[in-house]
Structures are given as C-alpha cells and as structure tokens.
Structure 1
Amino acid sequence: MTKGSSSPGTPAILLLSGGLDSATVGAMARADGFALHALSFDYGQRHKAELQAADRVAKSLDVVEHKVAHIDLALFGGSALTADIDVPKGRTDSDRDAGIPITYVPARNTIFLSYALAFAEVREARHIFIGVNAVDFSGYPDCRPDYIKAYETMANLATVLGRSGTARIEIRTPLLHMSKAEIVAAGTRLDVDYAQTTSCYDPDEYGRACGACDACFLRREGFAAAGIADPTRYKAS
C-alpha cells in the first residue's frame, strides 16, 4: 500500500514506462483505490519495447485511460537512450559508483512530470504517481528526494489546481526508499505480472533483454535477492 489511501475512485495520474518500477507503483495505487489515468511517452528513445510493455501493463491495471505523449528528446541527444551512443554493458560496482552514467536522459523526469501535471489539472487529479527510486537509481539527479520535494512545491505554485487552496498536489513516490528486492516482493504480493514489463536499456528486435546493462543488472539482482523467479526474456549470450 502507498502512504495515504484514497477514497474509492479518486483520480490519479500514473507515469507508466512499462518497467518493473512503474508497474509496481501502479499496482500499489490501484490497491489503494485510485482511479488511474496512465501517461506514457514516445520521447525519441531508441527502442519501442517499453511502449509495448506500457500498453500491456495499462491493460492489466484496468486504467481509466492510457495516453501516449509524443515528444522528441532525441533532438538534443546526450544520452545512450536517445542518441547513437553505446549503452554501457557489464559495468562493475565501482563503475556504477563512479558517477552518473550516459544512460541518464537530460531533464527527462522534469519533462515527464510537467506533462503529468498538465494532465492532472485537466482531470482534477491531485495525486501524481512516479516510480523513482533513491536506492537503486544509478545516481540520476531526478530520482532523488530533494528533487521530488522541490518539484511538488513548484507544482503547487504553478497551477490553478495547486493555488485553489482546497488540497495540495502530491507527487507520490512509494518506491523512493525501497531496494529492488523489496519492490519485486511488494509487486508480487499485489499480483504484478513482471513478465509483461521491460527494464532493459538495449533490448533486441524481439524485445528480449540484453542481460548486461545496468537496468538488467539491477532487475536480475532484485529478483534474486527477493527469492522470486525472474520471468524476464533474455537474449542468448
């Protein structure tokens, strides 16, 4: 369960990437009685497997609606997810501790949350759910508690909904301080079908995970630590 359950049918925006984390957040929010309006992004990423996964997860969550926003972060590049830059593979713990990896997409969560905020105003939804994590987060600056707090402050200053004074807009981050194993265990208790999700930064043309990027490493380690079978389809090595 997330912190602070809702009245049945309370509208909420769910940022849905099709990954393990966003599927778990969606299941938590649904269990708390929220009526979910899902939002995914075709943002110029190099593969569309995550959008296909988002569609599957949205259907499994029985969301009220699922919108896909089309934006072009590839216009700016600067990330292995949007530009012709190799996705790092086989990194060690010391590599991961060395700094923010090239898989970081500049300002991505800020842009995504801004779209979610606009969607929330139109749907009169005061809750925006996002699967950011400050434990297994690769050091990304837009997955940290101080960032989320600052964005929530801005959201309440920048919108008619936030300025109305009846209740605050909340950026809900139930996974923020959970390990990947804890996330997997929580989702499993809520019957999340993780076979529907994808986490890989560099899947093949069939949507199979590479098994060697940071996202695959964290996902695989999470299932192992939770003692739960990993349903991920990996391509042959």
Structure 2
Amino acid sequence: MKKAVVLLSGGLDSTTCLALAKERGFDVTALSFNYGQRHVGELARAQQIAARAGVVDHRMIWVDLRAFGGSALTDEIDVPKHPGVREIGAGVPVTYVPGRNTIFLSFAVALAEVLSSSDIFIGVNAVDYSGYPDCRPEFIQAFQEAARLGTVLGVTTGELTIHAPLTGMSKAEIIRQGLALGVDYGLTTSCYDPTPDDRACGACDACLLRLKGFHDAGVTDPIEYECGS
C-alpha cells in the first residue's frame, strides 16, 4: 500500500478527506495540530476519528500560533456570530489564522519525506467556506510546486502530490460523499467557539455552513448544538 499523510483536524471536511484517502487504498498517517486554538476539543475528536478509521500512526504536533495572534481562534478576539448563513459577511473573516495551512502543509511535507510518501491529503474547500485565501486551489497548486522544488523526494522523483479532493464540492456534496463512505459525522466537530461541555454554538460561520450543508444534503446533523439547531 502506498503511504499518505492526511491532515486531520477532527472536523467534517478533514474526516471526509481521511475516508477518501482510505477508500483510495492509502496506508494513512494522520497529522493533527494543537496550535493554541480556542476549539482545542477538536483534537480529542480527531483521535477518536483516526482510531475508528483504523489509523495506526496518528501524530499530534504542538505549534503555538498564539505567538502571532491576529485571529479570533488564537487571540483575544470574539468569534463572530450570526442568525443565519446570509448574514455571514464577505471578505476574509477574523477567524482566518495567518499562515495556518502553509505551516500545516510544511509539517506534512516534512513528515511525508521521512515516511517516503509522495501523497498528502488536505480537506480544504473553496465552495462552501469562509473566504480563507489558503483554501483556494491556486494556493494548493503553488504550494505543491514549492514542495517539489524544496524536498529531496520532489527533486529526485517529481512525485509529490497534495490532494485536495473536496476543493470543488459543496458542503452538501461532501456530506453525501462521506456518508457513502461510512463516515460517522457524530464524531466530528466544526464549531469555532464551543461551550465548556464541547457543544457546538450553532451561530459561528463554521456551524452555520455545516448546518446548511446537512440541510441541503437532506439529512440531520447528528451533533448537539447549544442553540438547539
């Protein structure tokens, strides 16, 4: 089996991405990050998801992005809340974490090179998302080229691929794909500002986009929300 590194946050998208990598026959090493995020409870979900998927090698890395701040997820900035998806503003929201996917992918490339793996999976999405610049296909393609030029694996084989299979899918399409692959979305979390007992708030951008995705997919979201959504 070919090896692949899969970035796993514990969220809906990365869990679907993990299932896709497994379905394509890859021997997966999962990679998760404690980066000082306010929703650090997602890491416990990531551990459960990896175990349920039969992932033997799950790496957890600490990289404190609170040293930079500048995001509602890593700084003393309120997470925006809205009554519905239509109220989510245009532009890049304050929940964007500067450099996050660049940093995560750099770690993934380093790990892949050590594992002699030429395949990395990341669950970025450019359709139903919050406008983050590092979720766009242009960024993934450019980073892939940089990784090929900057690693021994890439220079000697030219075979370093960053898979972003969810890029062009709506949230509803992602959910349907995951359900077809047997994903248990009850294990996942998407909330940026969960309650102390780890319930999703139901009003942040991530919750609203998730709820819309389940509604559009015609299925019930299995997780519990503070607002009773």
CA distance in 1, matches of 2:166, 2:56: 23
Q: Match for 2:178 among 174, 187, 192?
A: 187
Give the equivalent residue in structure 1 for 2:166.
Answer: 175
1:232 to 192, 210, 223: 223
Summarize deviations over 1:14-68 as a string: whole Å, max 9, x none: 0000000000000011011100000000001113211011111111111130011
Counterparts of 1:187-226 in structure 2, within 5 Å, are 187-226=178-217
1:171-214 CA-partner distances (Å, limit 9, x unpaired): 00010000000000000001100000000000011110000000
- Structure 1 pair 73/10, CA: closer, same or farther in 2 (3 Å)? same
CA RMSD between the two structures: 1.2
In 2, Cα distance between the equivalents of 1:64 and 1:118? 19
Q: Secondary structure at the match of 2:130?
A: coil
Give 2:139's aligned residue: 147
**TM-score of the superposition, structure 1-length normalised?**
0.93
Assess if the C-alpha contact under 8 Å between 2:129 and 2:209 holds in 1. Answer: no
- Is residue 35–residue 64 contact of structure 1 (8 Å, CA) maintained in 2? no
Structure 2 counterpart of 1:5: none
Letter in 2 for 1:44: G
- The alignment-based identity, stated in percent, is 56
**Alignment check: 8 A CA contact 2:82 2:88 kept:** no
What amino acid does structure 2 have at the position aligned with 1:226?
A
Deviations 1:149-177 (A, max 9, x none): 10000000000000112x41000001000
What SS is found at the alignment partner of 1:164?
A: helix
Paired amino acid for 2:99: A
Number of corresponding residues = 228
Unaligned runs of 5+ residues in structure 1 are 1-8
1:112 aligns with 2:107: no
TM-score by length of 2: 0.96
Gapped regions of structure 2 (runs ≥ 5)? none
Matches within 5 A, 1:1-237: 9-90=1-82, 95-165=87-157, 167-236=158-227
Shift of 1:119: 0.3
CA distance in 2 between partners of 1:91 and 1:123 (Å): 45
Question: Partners in 1 of 2:104 and 2:85 — Cα distance?
Answer: 29
